[in-house]
Each structure stands twice: as C-alpha cells, then as structure tokens.
Amino acid sequence: MKLLGKVFPYLAIIAVVILLAITNYKPGTLLTGWDNLHPEFNLLLNIKRSFFAVWQEYQSFGLLGGMGHASDIVRQIFLLMLSSFMPASFLRFFWTILTLIIGAIGTLHLSKTLIANSFLKEKGGNNLILPTFAALFYILNLATLQSYYAPFETFTAHFAFLPWMILASLHFLNRQSIKNALILSLVFFLTTPQSYVPTLFVVFAGAMTILLAVAGVKLIREGRIKKLFIMSAKYYAILFISNAFWLLPFLYFTTTNASVNVNAKINQMATEQIVLQNKEFGNLLDTILLKGFWFSAVEPNLSRVPTYMLGQWMIHIYTPWVQVLGVALFILALIGLIVSIAKKEILLVAFSVLFILVFAVICNNAFPFSLAGYALSHVPLLSQAFRFPFTKLSLLLGLLYSLFAAFGLGAILLFLPQRKLLQKVIPLLFVAILFIYMLPAFRGNFFYEKEQLKLPQEYTQVFSYFDKKDPSQRIATLPASTFWSWNYYSWGYGGSGFLWYGIKQPIVDRAFDVWGETSENGYNELSYALYSKDKQALLRVLNKFQITYLLLDKNVYSNSSPKALFYDETETLLSGIPQVKKDATFGDIAIYKVDLAAKPHNYVVTKGLLPSTNEYIFNNDDKAYKDLGFYKNSTTPSNYYPFANFFTNKLKDDNFEISEKDLSITFTQKLPELKSYTLTLPEVTKDKTIPIEIVSTYDNVTDTNIVSARIISPVVSLNGKVVTANTVNLYPLFVAPKNATYSLAINSVRATNLNLNSIKNFYTYIQLGEDNYFTLSDQNSDNVYVQTITKEYLQNLDSLKKRTVELKNIKKNSTLSVSFPKVVDLFYGYAYNGKDFSKAQDCNGFRSGLAKDVIVNNSLTLIAENDSQCIAANAPTLTHEAGYLVKINSQNNSGRPFHFWTLNENEGTTPLDLYLDSKKKTSYLMLSPMEKYGVGYSFHLDNISIGNNHASNTINSMEVVQIPCNYLRDITITQPYTASTGGANFSVTHPNESLYLLKNVASSREASTIILSQSYDSGWKAYELTLNTKSKVGTFFKSLFPFVFGREIKSHVLINNWENGWEYSGEKDIVIVYLPQYLQYGGFLSFMVLMAILLILQLRKSNSYFAIRTEILKQKVSARLHK
C-alpha cells in the first residue's frame, strides 16, 4: 500500500493526460496551425539549422535571427530519437501531450518541496493529496487551455519546464553544492526549448529574481550580505552559461536589430491591437478566471465562416454557475495566499509576492492592479517584452494558482475536524470542481478543431521535388495579395506557414518580414510588379533578388477579397515571360522555374566594378536596378535618385518634404554634397497625362473671351532658384461672346460650365499619348464647337522634353524641389469633407458596444466603445495607371487613430493599408501607379474600439491628387563613372549557413565585385588567405578562424540595396564568414567547459569520499585483526 500511495500521484497525472489525449486525438491527422514548429518534416535539416542558427539562411533573403532559434535543438534531438519508432505525423501530438505530463509532475515535486518547508509540512508529510491536487490544477485551468488550444512549442515547453526550473533553482539556492550546481546546469540546458520565444526566459529569470530578492531580505537582516551576493552570482552565472548558446545571439540581435521588428509593417498594424485585446481581458473577473484575449479571437472555421475560435468554451464558461466554480477555485488560491503571508515563512512570502505582482501585471485594466502595468510600461526593455502580458505570464500565474490552491486546500483541511472521511471528501470535491470547470476539454475541445488536419499529399510531393534541387536556389511563395503573413487554406490550415520545415531551399515568405527589412521590401517589389501586370518589372525583381522558383499555392483562400488572390492573372502573366517556365504541378500547387540572368553558385556571383547609387530602405520599384542592372550603394554615388523611395505603403516619413502653396504641390529633397554632377530631368511624357489650366482672357477689340489651355510642366528648383520653368504659351481653343454660357467637355468628359462673363480658371488633365478633344456646347442653342490638341503637338513641345543641367559644388543639404498643380476636378482628382463620406456603418459583427457619429461644420466625428465604425468615399474615375498623393486632415481625439485603407476596385487589393499617426493632423500618403487599364478606387476610414478603450476620431477633409510620379522617379543626378565587365573565377563551397569558401580565385585584370546573395549585414566578413588543400586539418582551422590566419577584405559594400559585396583584385582564396555565429559557438563551448569543471569537481569529491570510506574500513579491519 505504501508503494501504491507513492505511485498514485503519478498514475493520476498520467491517467488525466491520457484521458485528454484519447478524447482529443483524431487518427490520421497532423497537429498543425497558427504558430507552429514542424522540424519533424526534416529533422536532420532542422537540427543543422539550429546548430548554425545565428544567420537564418532559409528565411527569405537570409537574416539575423531575432528569436532563440538555437534553443529548440534539444527538443529536435529528442524528436529524432523518437522518430526511429514513431511516425512523423504523430511526433508533434506526442510531444504536446508529453509536456502536460512533464509539467504536472514538476508541479507535484515543486509543491512537495514547498509544503515540506511550510506550515503544512505535517499535513503533507505522510500523504500526497495536496501536491497531486496542485499538479491536476496546473493541467486543468484556462491558462493552460489557452496555451494548448493552438499549441506553439515554446509555450508548451514553458508549461513543461517552468516548475522543474524553479525546483532546481530552489535546491541550488538552498545548498550550493557541486552536485546541485551540476543538476541545475543540466536542467537549465535541457529546458532551453522554452526560450524559442526569449521573453519566456525573461519571465522565468524575472520570477526567480523576485523570489531571490524577497528571500534575500532575510539574509540581509541577518548580516549575511556576502553570502547572498556569492549565492546570487553563482546562480546567475550558471543560468547565463547554460543558455549562452542561444542567449548571446539574441542579445546581439536586440542591441543591433531590435528596431527592425518594431518597425515592421505587420507589427505596426497588429501590435497596438493585441495590446488592447490583452487590456480588454485585464479586468478583475477575467484575471481571476485566467481568461485572455483568446476568448475574443475570431477566424474562419472549417466551413470558412468567421466564428469565435473558443465558441464551445464561451458557451460553457459564460454560464453563471460555471463562473461561480472558477471564482471558487480562485478563492481557494486566495486562502492559500493569505495563510502563506500570515505564517511569515520566507519562502512562501516570496512566492506570495511573486503571485501578487504577476496577477497585477495581467490585471492591467482594474485599479489598483493597473498601476503595476503602468510602471512596467515605462521600463524601456520590459515595456516591449511585456506588451502582451497574458500571453507571456499566464502560465506562470497558472502555476502559482496551482500552488496556492494546494496551500488553500491544506489550510482548509487543517481547520476542519480531522475525520478520515471528511479529509478525503473535501479534496475530491475540489478535484471534481476542476473537472467540471474544464469539462469541454474532455469533449474534444482541448485543441482547436482546425489544429488537427490531414496534410494533403501534394505538400509531401513538393518536399520531395525540392529535395532533389540545388539547396541554394531561392523560392518565393504566391499569392502575394497582402502584407499579412497569416494565410488560410482550403484544407483547413490557418497560420504563419510550415513549408520551410520540409524544404531545404530558402523560402521568401511574408512570415519573415518582421525580422528583416529586405524580406518586407522584396515582397513589396514582387507584389507591385505582379499586380501592375508588368512582365518586365516582375522579371527584374526575380533577377534582382535571385529568386529561382515561384511556388503558387491555389489552396490559399481569402474571404475578404477572393479577387486579390490573382490566380488566373498570375498564371497568365508568368506564361508570357520566356524566362519563366512551369516546372511541376502537384494538385493545386504549381511550381515555376526562372532562368536567371546571373546564376549564383552557392549564393555567390561575381561581377566587375559596379556603378553606384544612393541607399534607401523601402520602395516598390527599383529605378536604379532598372537603369543600371547590378549596382552598389554609396554615400557618394555616381547615380543619385532624389525621389527613389516614393511608395512604401507606410506614412510618409522624412525621405522628402511635401508642401502646398495656392494651387500647387511641391516635393523637396535634401541633397548630399555634389561636386560635379549632371541633373537629368526626364521627358514629361514619361507620365500618361499632363496638367493644363483652362484660361479665359478678354479681348477689348472684339469684345469676346478667348478660352485657352495652358500646358503645365513641372517646375524644378535648386535651393529655391528655378532650374527649368514652364515656358509654354497659351494654346487658344475658342472665341466666344462675352455674356454667353457654355458647357466645356474634354475628351468626352464634362469639365465645367463656363459663364464667360465671370469665368474662373481651373486645372485638369489631358492625355499625352493621344489626341485631346475640347468640346464647347452653347447651352442656349445647339451650337457645338470642337478643338483638338494633338499628341504630336505635345510631344514636340520643348518644355516637355528631356533636359540636363550641370551642377557644380552643391553643398550638403541643398534642396531640390519639384512643383506641379493640384488638380481637383472630380475626375482626375477629388476633394472630400467629412459630410462627403458614406454613412457610418457597424463593421464588427462580433462586438456590440457604443457607436455614434456627429457632424459639425463639415467635419465628421466617429465615436465608438467596444465596436467599430466604417466610412468610405468613392473615386470611380481615378485611373490606376497614374500615381496619387492622398492628403488626410484628421484628428485623433482618443483611443486608436483612424485605420485608413484604399481598395483597388478592379483587383480587390489594398495598395494602402495603415493606421494614421495619432500625433499629426495632416497625413500624406503615396498611392502608386498600378495596372494599365484599371479604374476606380475607394478610400476607407475605420474607427476601432476594443473593450472599454474609447475611440474617437474626426475626419475634416481628404484630397486625392494625381502626381507625376514617373517623372519624379526618373530624375537623376549623375557623374561619369568607370565600370568593368570582368569578374573573378573561383569554386565555392558552403559548409554551413555562416561560412563560404572561395578557392582557386582567378581575378581579371580589373577589380571584381564578389556578391553574396544574403541580406546585407555588417557581421559578414571576407578574408583572403591561402587554404592548404593538402592538409585537411590545416584547411579546417584556417576556414574556422580566418580572422586569425587571413587578412580582412575591407571593401564591404551594399549591392542592389539588399545584398553583400566585396571589391577584390587579388588571387588568394577567400573565406566569407558571419562573425556573430561565433557567439553561438562560444555559448556551446562555455557550457561544455562548465559541465567539465563541475563533473571533475564532483568526481574528485566522490573519489575523496570513497577514499575516506576505504581508509575507515581499513582501520576497522586492522583493529579487528589486532584483537
């Protein structure tokens, strides 16, 4: 019976978890979806990636890893061992279920340790009821459910390992023996898979710091400060060294590239929304029940109908008596908390302080707990790490609930009469409450229904197809209809993607935009070329980014805009490009292969010396690559494009200035220092239209009005001085009596009514590539007069032709300005006030709060609370072939600012989609030219409120004005440069993600540019040296430490605005290496050294122990013999 009593807790835990597994498992399915890791698709490939994890080569164009990528290697090796007897499709489900058992058993032992050192030690000394209850509570609570409903490995690992890490820490801090240090080091290393999302490591480290700080007060009071310091130093040293192999690279990313993640388009759009969703559930009741924003999550179900993800759980949890059970469980934990504080036992007090602090941070929408969240938001690093407190802290709070609920149960049992039956019934009652409270989990709702799916065979066929291809040939996924990285598939999958776990080639996908600017901008260029239906532009993008394959997956669907998927149009466009051929088809997946102009080998290609141009970050069409082909970026370029970065799908930043005066708009760019350059102003006919002014002049002699058209070309100024002015004279159109009233139409489009007695000049546009017909109709008779401005006339105007201006000694920050008319004629341009927008609509069917609109002085104010309102303005005549400046005058009164988006009515795409700046009343946005024959845009403003966050925004006015974007982008400032066509010859080997060996380098007479097709990063270094091919050991060490044996090639340059290059004229071997990778090597090495030292010390201690025992035994034997 004693044995059964000891084993029973483990049997109970395993039984409950197996019951969960049986009631939730769907045979023949794969556990997948949302954020997921699938190394089981190719375990050896993913283990190698984790060992060389600092540079994430497989992510788009290569990037510095921003997560704890290396940390998953322990789990991957474990899965590799399991894969020898377990099918790959079952591995993820098995691992997920196993983490429940590991975490619960860890909680069992942690609670036993705490009980053994508390007021309950007598109660818990002879039975395991309380620890077993704590373990079951840890499994059966809403925090655990929300982490497992759509499981992400880092959170399930956090659940499994958190109690073990705390337990090992407590044992070490209690006694800093070598054995405990060894155990602690191993525990920390083996639990690193939880750190794939490094914030969870911060959660643990922060929790232990709080425990240590509170417990350390006792040592300080006892005057043992030195002991506290030494103990803490040892502990944090072991913690750091055990995690250094992933932690050092992550710290490097944080100090050098963290802004990339913050400024990514996806995060700009989503971060504040998730913050508000966290805050919505940060009220007291939801925190008590451990409910988070998952309870408001909506997405398409298996029938593609938007619905609540936790629909079944909402029906259950929102039942009043079920909420009473949840509150009862919290009261039980609260009793444990109060009693623990009252007993003043230092360890329990420390855990109590931790409980209160974590509860307060999550309960960030209820005073006074919200003060903790407010304080946290003002600590720079922590404010970013804990923007979503429930996501990061809920499992820790769930563990603390479990521990204090066990203490509370123990306190009740101590208080009640010590009757055997009562002492058993009460624990069983609370266990029953746990099961009833979490009943849907045992009815098949522990996992989201869309998480258990059958992976279509076509994807395994795609894996096999690419397994036979060159691993260095890049793949881009299509469709590219949105910047969001979240896709929904016809077979049920919804999430951030999975292909890269089974494909060894790099995959360009929007999932990686948040970690690399090159990924985001590369997709901007690809998407723009595709949706503009521009074959040449698309081919240029593929060559620029060296994309060898396009993978078009027609399983992807979109409820909001099916047209935007562009399937038929994409296939038609690709079929019209000779260099792109369909290479394979697997079900609804088509694979196209691109015959690249430059053919990299192992990501390396060579060119001669390249022309140079200025740097920029975001754009959708690379004018420099179009003009020059391969180029390098420089601060003193041979080709300078003042308005290169026009269209970024972001709010206009400080790339250039926009100003308005009277009826004109001016774009101004600050210039670098220019000593001897040529300013080239392109022909105005680059754009399809040109503005004109309709002018009426009175003729005294004939007493008539002469109606004329003044053709207006852009006015270019340098430092305020006009470089080229409009010199076109008036083009006479009609002579009409002074007091007549006429209707004027231009190209069959009614322009205006003309009362020639009081005519006001106005602006409009005419076509440059065709004849323009002006029709004047007498409103008092049937007389119609027609005049024509021919395309030949326009094309021969000197003011519209290309021209050059020599620039000498232009100082830095001199200004180049381009001015053009602001045309608002309700055909080529539109102006709206607040009243012109459509009536506000409720655009969130899942929220029903306050929503109202108020119009004052032509301004429209939208007010919402826990609801969303939408208004729109239509511009049906705007051609997609032109580019536009959108000016919005609005005011953010409270809450989140307006969500503004533009709908391309032909294609269903949203070329502009962003939140306005809450601090600015005037916003300028650039809408780029799109497809040639498309017409019609609509402009939308959404006022969004989540929870009790009051949102109020006012729209005063909006203008949409055509701009000469092709003319602006084609303005160049150049100087003569010397380029060479030669290039070096060499062979390339690529042993791992961070290393390239270039051997047998034979350079041409002129210098060459060696180009590495990976996103530019200062961590990439190139060294010239001689690799001794006769000695493999020597070659290995030289390639491993090129910075020791070689000489650095200093001429590291940015190529094509995204990749690495080195200008080189020697003939030695070259090693290209990513130096930050050595941080991971150093981390592994430091852990091995730590383990070696601890093992040696432990063995010495053991040998010493055995030597002493042997000597004592010898003395005893000798004494007996002498007797």
- Give me the CATH number covering residue 937: 2.60.120.260
- Provide the pLDDT for residue 120: 72
807, part of any domain: no
Q: What is the pLDDT of residues 241-256, one digit of tens each?
A: 999 999 999 999 999 9
| Section 5-14 average pLDDT | 90
The overall average pLDDT reported for the chain is 90
- Provide the pLDDT for residue 126: 41
Residues 787, 745 contacting (CB under 8 angstroms): no
Q: Are residues 777 and 900 in the same domain?
A: no
- Provide the pLDDT for residue 383: 61
Q: Are residues 154 and 194 in the same domain?
A: yes
Mean pLDDT lowest among 476-480, 536-540, 751-755, 1046-1050: 751-755
- Provide the pLDDT for residue 98: 98
What totals of helices (H) and strands (E) does the chain contain, helices first? 30, 53
- Provide the pLDDT for residue 269: 86
Phi, psi of 661 (to 5 degrees): -150, 125
Locus of tokens 């190719």 = 42
Nearest to 515 by CA among 547, 545, 485: 485
Q: Are residues 914 and 984 in the same domain?
A: no
Residues 494, 486 contacting (CB under 8 angstroms): yes
Token pair in block for residue 428: 């069983």
Domain end, chosen from 564, 597, 630, is at: 597
Helices 178-190, 225-263: crossing angle, 10 deg rounding: 10
Token pair in block for residue 218: 């006792």
Q: Are residues 944 and 991 in the same domain?
A: no
The pLDDT of residue 763 is above 80: yes
H or E element that contains 390: helix 389-415
| Section 386-398 average pLDDT | 90
DSSP-H helix ranges across 510-632: 517-531, 535-544, 567-575, 623-628
- Provide the pLDDT for residue 838: 83
814, part of any domain: no
Q: Are residues 222 and 118 in the same domain?
A: yes
The CA-based angle 374-375-379, given to 5 degrees, is 115
Handedness of CA 289, 293, 294, 299 (dihedral sign): positive
Nearest to 854 by CA among 954, 957, 959, 958: 954
Structural domain containing residue 935:
830-972
Amino acid at 695: V
pLDDT band at 44; cut points 50, 70, 90: very high
462, part of any domain: no
Q: Are residues 770 and 918 in the same domain?
A: no
Token pair in block for residue 352: 């109590």
The pLDDT of residue 123 is above 70: no
Residues 434, 416 contacting (CB under 8 angstroms): no
What spatial distance separates the first Cα and last Cα of the chain, rounded to whole Å? Answer: 47
Domain end, chosen from 972, 1003, 1034, is at: 972
Mean pLDDT lowest among 615-629, 694-708, 800-814: 694-708
Q: Are residues 136 and 285 in the same domain?
A: yes
pLDDT band at 749; cut points 50, 70, 90: confident
1115, part of any domain: no
Phi, psi of 944 (to 5 degrees): -115, 125
- Provide the pLDDT for residue 1105: 59
| Section 112-140 average pLDDT | 82
pLDDT band at 1107; cut points 50, 70, 90: low
Strand spans (E) along 55-118: 55-56, 63-64
| Section 541-565 average pLDDT | 95
For residue 520, what are the contacts with CB-CB under 8 A and spacing of at least 6? 264, 265, 483, 510, 513, 618
165, part of any domain: yes
Residues 788, 772 contacting (CB under 8 angstroms): yes
- Provide the pLDDT for residue 653: 58
Residues 1006, 1000 contacting (CB under 8 angstroms): no
357, part of any domain: yes
Q: Are residues 696 and 757 in the same domain?
A: yes
| Section 103-113 average pLDDT | 96
- Provide the pLDDT for residue 372: 72
Q: What is the pLDDT of residues 66-81, one digit of tens each?
A: 999 999 999 999 999 9
Q: Are residues 226 and 322 in the same domain?
A: yes
51, part of any domain: no
Domain end, chosen from 1026, 1048, 1067, is at: 1067
Q: Are residues 296 and 161 in the same domain?
A: yes
Exposure string for 586-614, b = 16+ CB within 10 A, e = fewer: bebbbbbbbebeeebebbbbbbbbbbbbb
Locus of tokens 């791992």 = 992
Q: Are residues 760 and 633 in the same domain?
A: no
358: DSSP letter: H
- Provide the pLDDT for residue 368: 82
Which region, left, alpha or beta, applies to residue 533 given φ > 0 means left and ψ of -120 to 50 means alpha? left
The pLDDT of residue 3 is above 70: no
Amino acid at 1066: G
pLDDT band at 124; cut points 50, 70, 90: very low
Q: Are residues 996 and 965 in the same domain?
A: no
Q: What is the pLDDT of residues 815-867, one digit of tens each?
A: 999 999 999 988 999 999 998 998 889 888 888 888 999 999 999 999 999 99
- Provide the pLDDT for residue 1111: 65
- Provide the pLDDT for residue 18: 98
839: DSSP letter: P
Count Cβ atoms below 10 Å from residue 932 Cβ, excluding itself. Answer: 12
| Section 966-990 average pLDDT | 86
When divided into structural domains, the chain yields a total of 5
34: DSSP letter: B
Higher pLDDT, 333 or 124: 333
- Provide the pLDDT for residue 496: 92
The pLDDT of residue 756 is above 80: no
* 813 class by beta-carbon count within 10 Å (0-12 exposed, 13-18 middle, 19+ buried): exposed
Token pair in block for residue 631: 């180029």
pLDDT band at 1110; cut points 50, 70, 90: low
The pLDDT of residue 125 is above 60: no
The pLDDT of residue 652 is above 60: no
- Provide the pLDDT for residue 351: 96
| Section 195-207 average pLDDT | 96
- Provide the pLDDT for residue 726: 61
Nearest to 778 by CA among 821, 816, 741: 741
730, part of any domain: yes
Q: What is the pLDDT of residues 868-923, one digit of tens each?
A: 999 999 999 999 999 999 999 999 999 999 999 999 998 899 999 999 999 999 99
